Amino acid sequence: MLLRLVCVLVFLALGAAGQQPPADDEYKRGYLLFVEGKLEQAEAIFRSLYEKDPPDIRGLLGLTEVYAKRDEYGRAKELLDAEIRKQPGLAQLKVAWANLAMRSGKPNEAIAVYEKLLDEDPKNFDLCVRIAEAYRQTQNGDQALKYWGRASEIRPNEVMPILSRAMMLDAAGRAEAAVSLYEQTLLLDAENVVALNNLAYYLADREKDLDRAMSYAQKAAVKAPKDLMIADTLGFVYLKQGMAKQAADVYRRIWGATNLAAMVYVHAATAYLETGDRAEAKRFLELARRNRPSAADSAEIQKLAVRLE
């Protein structure tokens, strides 16, 4: 299944109410220099903005981004700490501090700040999403689900928290619970590749409504033609439909790929075996053995190995 969630500047994509800063020429120039990797020049512009009277908070946030880009998290934190002492009521600074904690691998510190801010602003969708992601990084799935659910209560038609819950449940082996959320996602976004792919796989794996599975898998494959995991879903659906030749044609795309999930190679081996190409089937089965198969994968590998004897 897919679990794919590019780090954008915190003060753009992760700003306190999700808002972008005003279109100021000097700031925009600094931002473009930052994106181009010209950090010293960007730093000079952001510092100039911050040292204005009164200070421009965008300059401060720009400086923290430059420091974070250099992995100078301590320096960025000191800068934010100093400004928070001056402006303790400015939530944007605290959000930036928590964002920095997340990026430096300290999600628990981020959670403490985010949750306190959410207590003060309980309908803040952005904070709910941040807290959910922080809990996901700490492997606390129940809390992540709780906050993604809370985000959905605030904005019922927002796809991201619905899909995030579905993927977390799916990854935890709770596919049945994830299905309704994938379907809800498609009601809001009929072109959502992740929901299309994961629902197609679910239906095929349980041999439920294979025509719908095929429709979803084909649509996802058209929208993401280079994604080999999506190609695997399509190949798997073909196998379930008894269309081994079409499945083998799909798996021909992965001949040069040697680090996919073990089950992908099992599917490929099955397709080739059913078309009568035992040599290719054995080659893919060996790849399955080499790619960290789970206990369930190993059982499928053994079954296929018996058929190849």
| Rounded Cα gap, residues 237 and 129, in angstroms | 34
Segment 167-188, tens digit of pLDDT: 999 999 999 999 999 999 999 9
Mean local confidence (pLDDT), 67-73 = 95
Assigned fold of 6-101: 1.25.40
The arithmetic mean of pLDDT across residues 69-91, rounded, is 94
CB 267 within 8 A of CB 235: yes
Tens-digit pLDDT profile for residues 220-234 = 999 999 999 999 999
What are the structural domain ranges in the chain?
6-101, 243-309
Asked if pLDDT for residue 309 goes beyond 90, the answer is no
Q: Cβ distance 206 to 233 under 8 Å?
A: no
| Spatial distance between the Cα atoms of 211 and 114, rounded to a whole number of angstroms | 45
Beta strands in 89-144 (DSSP E): none
Instruction: Please state, as a whole number, how many other Cβ atoms lie within 10 Å of the Cβ of residue 20.
Output: 10
% of the chain beyond a pLDDT of 70: 93
Q: What is the pLDDT of residues 19-31, one digit of tens each?
A: 444 437 889 999 9
Residue 295's pLDDT is what? 95
pLDDT confidence of residue 240: 97
